[in-house]
Each structure stands twice: as C-alpha cells, then as structure tokens.
C-alpha cells in the first residue's frame, strides 16, 4: 500500500448548490438529459422555471438523481418505483430522527 498525502481540500456542500442548469446537473450526475426530464415528469425532482432551457435545479436534486440512478441500476426498479422507494426511505429517516430525540 502506498501512502499519499495531499494539501487540505475544500469542497462544496452539495445540498447548498443552487441554480444548476439541466446541463450541469447531467454532468454532475453523469446521466443524459432525457433521464432528468423523465425524473421531472415523475415529479421526483422539481426545477424552477417553465422552459427546459431555463430550468434551475438545487443541490438536493443532485442527491436524488444519483440515488435514483443507483437504485434503478442495482435493484432493477422502474422510475415510478424508484420515486416511491426514495420518498418512503426519506420518510423513515425523518421518523428515525424523531425517535432519536
């Protein structure tokens, strides 16, 4: 095993990202625009702006798209199923957080 040390890295908080274009969201998540459009049609991620060319996404969309992509790929569920699963998972997480209190 080789050890390698680097300088201090500063990243960005994904969830704080605002005003991502469709193109930037595609690049970040390594998916095609058609996939994003399907997720928007599913009501799973919600851009601001009416026209596709003016769509603006926030950082939460990045996480949602990545999760959808993984679940779809790994478990073989369709988009509607993925959306349902993730919404239920989010709900369970909120309930767990309440229990911890």
Partner 1 sequence: MEYKDYYQIMGVERDATQDEIKRAYRKLARKYHPDVSKEADAEKRFKEVGEANEVLKDPEKRAAYDQLGANWQAGQDFNAPPDWDAGFEFGGGGFTGGGTQYHSFDGADASAYSDFFESLFGQGFQQAGAGGRGGPQSGYQQQSGFHSAGSDHHAKILIDLEDAMNGATRSISLRVPDVDAAGHVTTKERVLKINIPKGIKQGQHIRLGGQGNPGMGQGKAGDLYLEIEFNPHGIYHVDGRDVYLDLPVAPWEAALGASVKVPTPGGLVDLKIKPGSANGSKMRLKGRGIPASSSNNSAGDLYVVLQVALPPASTDSEKAAYEKMQQSFSFNPRATLGV
Chain contacts with partner 1 (rule: CB under 8 A): 1-16, 18, 28, 30, 62-63, 66-67, 69-71, 73-76, 85-86, 89, 93, 96-97, 100-101
CB of 54 to partner 1, least distance (A): 19
Alpha carbon distance 13, 19 (integer Å):
14
Residue 52 or 93 having the CB closest to partner 1 = 93
CB of 79 to partner 1, least distance (A): 15
3-state class of 56 per DSSP?
Answer: strand
Alpha carbon distance 22, 8 (integer Å):
31
Looking up tokens 């569920």 gives 77
CB of 27 to partner 1, least distance (A): 10
3-state class of 48 per DSSP?
Answer: strand
């Amino acid at each position: 095993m080789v050890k390698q040390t680097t300088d201090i890295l500063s990243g960005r908080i994904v969830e704080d990202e605002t005003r991502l274009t469709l193109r930037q969201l595609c690049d970040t998540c390594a998916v095609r625009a058609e996939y994003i459009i399907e997720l928007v049609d599913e009501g799973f991620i919600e851009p601001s702006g009416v026209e596709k060319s003016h769509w603006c996404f926030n950082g939460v969309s990045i996480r949602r798209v990545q999760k959808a992509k993984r679940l779809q790929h790994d478990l073989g569920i369709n988009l509607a199923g993925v959306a349902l699963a993730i919404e239920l998972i989010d709900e369970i997480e909120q309930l767990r957080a309440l229990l911890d209190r």
